[in-house]
Structure 1
Amino acid sequence: MTAVEIILCFLAISNLMFLLNLGLPHSLFAFGVKYFYTDLGCKFGQIFMRSSRVMVISQTCLLSCFQGVTLASTNPMWAGLKIKMQKYILLIIMFLWCLSITSSISSALYPVVSINGTELKYTFNAGYCLSVYPSKYLFELIGFISFARDGTFVVLMATASIYILVVLLKHRNQMKGKRSSDHSQDTTAELQAAKMVVTLVTIYVLLFGIENTIYFYQISLAKEANSALNDTRYYLSFYFSTAFPFILIAFNQKIKYKIRCT
């Protein structure tokens, strides 16, 4: 397996974890089934959901950065970085997984199944589970730290994707004067992977922008918990993980060949 395929494999696992930890309890709750019966179960569910979401963000960022370094590897400095990333790709992924879990521990501190009271000011309400923060300070602090962490990954992946787009445009301009037979010879796996990465990142950045606008409103302006806003955010998060396999199939020639054979 190439380094890109390894990243895609772990990214697929992270997306599956996120879909199960986010989609399963929400779907069951929508049909009137109580997924969590204890506060402890609610805490574990929240930390798994939050950490798997960060895994998806960080590994999408890693994928775009690695693809950008691959396209820039004609430069000796970037070629050396590419070799090091290929050599330690599993360690990098494991580090990102550990970072995702440790940075999401705060999400396990305050979830409960239910609470007495009508005015819940500093609360995220998922319906089956409530995250009740003891003060406005903690509510905003944890929210802004999470926003800054996710925003850093998104800025990195967007920067790498802009570079990939520039390379793809240059490549297309170079191909304009060539025959169609030359086009097929010059279309490499790296360019197909680059197009896939740009598509993934574009969708993610758009969804992230809308989702985090809602999140920023919740932690800074909203005066009470609103389950409709939470549902909208969860739906936007859910969409990327749902679209991921279809984008992968559309751009990955190996998977297309296997599906045709099947």
Structure 2
Amino acid sequence: MTSDYMVFGLLFLFQTGFGVLGNTFLLGLHTITFFTGTRLRPIDLLLSHLAFANDLVLLSKGVPQTMTALGLNNFLDDVGCKLVFYFHRVARGLSLNTTCLLSGFQAITLCSGSFRWEGIKGKIPKYIVPFCFLCWTFRLLTYCVILLKVKGSIGMKNITEMNDLIYCSAPTGISSNVAEYVFLFSLPDVLYVGIMMGSSGYMVFFLYQHNQRVQHIHCNSLRPCSFPEIRATRTILLLVSMFVSFYSLNSILTLYMLLGKLTSWLVHISVLLAACFPACSPFVLIVSDSQVSRYSLALWDRIKLPVQ
């Protein structure tokens, strides 16, 4: 095993470990807070769903990739390779869907000063769970093709290396099927990214207007804007910016590899880029979302009470 692969292995281990730790903390905090009777914000359900999807992304991608980079090859059979690759793709799609829902939800929250949008804002919490189930259904069905085409590398002959999972393989020619990749996987994702960018553009415009009126702190309507909404908006904008940046870089690199420029170190870099958002996003929320601190303090107070 070369020193380069050892470095990649340690990077994957560090990225996966800290990312899973942060996402699990957020998911556990929101779950415990809910069961202790504290009222959660509607957006907290989306944040919990995002944390769960990010955990699944990191575990399904980071653990096998770490093992491969550290020299453990051919550790997955055909069924294991199908399931790992399938659930990674599903989880990554869910992360995209949830981030898109977060940006749309926050954009509607900001423009709820008008009577028309106020009514829509009041109905949104009722549709969050159905939207999440719809996202799961869409992603599970979309990526069923992976269960048919991805193969384990154990005992396979005349195979080509898979584009982004070097421990799995696919029948010869699948890696060059750019049209299938673009139309089946990329176009829906581009649509979601477009929605994110549109809602984010509106929020940036709103924040610019807000800064112009910062002495009075009033929206276009008569309803005063609350500082928590402004802080939440900036947090969502930061998450969306991170997602779009890492997703764009990874997509460009993936397309480059699909065109036949595939090397093992490019595969590892692609994996690192794909896992950057799931690993970093929980810490962005922990640091910038004041409600996370309130939930943590409230939970800590409940834990201390029985001891006292």
Partners in 2 of 1:143 and 1:132 — Cα distance?
A: 19
Q: 2:286 aligned to 249, 252, 256, which one? A: 249
Measure how far apart 1:143 and its partner are: 3.8
Task: Provide closer, same or farther for how the CA distance between residues 129 and 135 of structure 1 changes in structure 2, counting only shifts above 3 A.
Answer: closer
Bigger shift: residues 165-174 or 122-131? 122-131
The answer to whether structure 1 residue 66 and structure 2 residue 94 are counterparts is no
Structure 1 residue 7: deviation in Å?
0.5
Change (3 A) 1:234 1:101: same
For structure 1, list consecutive stretches of 5 or more residues without a partner in the other structure: 179-184
Which of residues 83, 103, 119 is equivalent to 2:142? 103
Give the paired residue count: 252
TM-aligned CA distance change 1:237 to 1:125, over 3 Å:
closer
Please give the alpha-carbon distance, in whole angstroms, between the structure 2 residues aligned to 1:255 and 1:55. Answer: 22
- Cα distance in 2 for partners of 1:25, 1:59 equals 25
How big is the shift at 1:188? Answer: 2.5
Q: What is the distance in 2 between the residues matched to 1:258 and 1:80?
A: 28
- CA-to-aligned-CA distance 1:159-184 (integer Å, 9 cap, x gap): 10111111111112211468xxxxxx
2:164 matched to 1:130?
no
In the alignment, residue 215 of structure 1 is paired with which amino acid? T
Unaligned runs of 5+ in 2: 1-39, 218-223, 301-308
- Within a 5 Å distance, the mapping from 1:23-102 to structure 2 comes to 23-34=62-73, 36-102=75-141
Amino acid in the other structure paired with 1:116:
K
Q: 2:275 aligns to what SS in structure 1?
A: helix
The Cα RMSD (Å) is: 2.4
Match of 2:29 in 1: none
1:62 Cα deviation after fit: 0.3
Q: 1:103 to 1:44 in 2, by over 3 A?
A: same
Aligned residue type for 2:292: I
Matched, 1:116 2:157: yes
Say which of 229, 254, 266 aligns to 1:229.
266
Partner Cα separation in structure 1 for residue 91 and residue 255 of structure 2: 21
Aligned to 1:154: 193
Displacement of 1:83: 2.3
Measure, in 1, the Cα distance between the counterparts of 2:274 and 2:262. 19
Residue of structure 1 in register with 2:254 after alignment: 215
Distance 2:113 2:229 in 1: 13
CA distance in 2 between partners of 1:169 and 1:200 (Å): 18
C-alpha displacement at 1:132, in angstroms? Answer: 3.4
Q: Which residue of the partner structure matches residue 167 of structure 1?
A: 206
Identity among equivalent pairs (%): 25
Q: Secondary structure at the match of 1:130?
A: strand
Cα distance in 2, alignment partners of residues 137 and 207 from structure 1:
23
Secondary structure of the 1:88 match is helix
TM-score (norm 2): 0.74
**Aligned to 2:112, what secondary structure does the other structure show?**
coil
TM-score of the superposed pair, with normalisation by structure 1? 0.86
The 3 A distance-change label for structure 1 pair 116 and 139 is farther
TM-superposed deviation, 1:81:
2.3
Greater CA drift, 73-82 or 93-102: 73-82
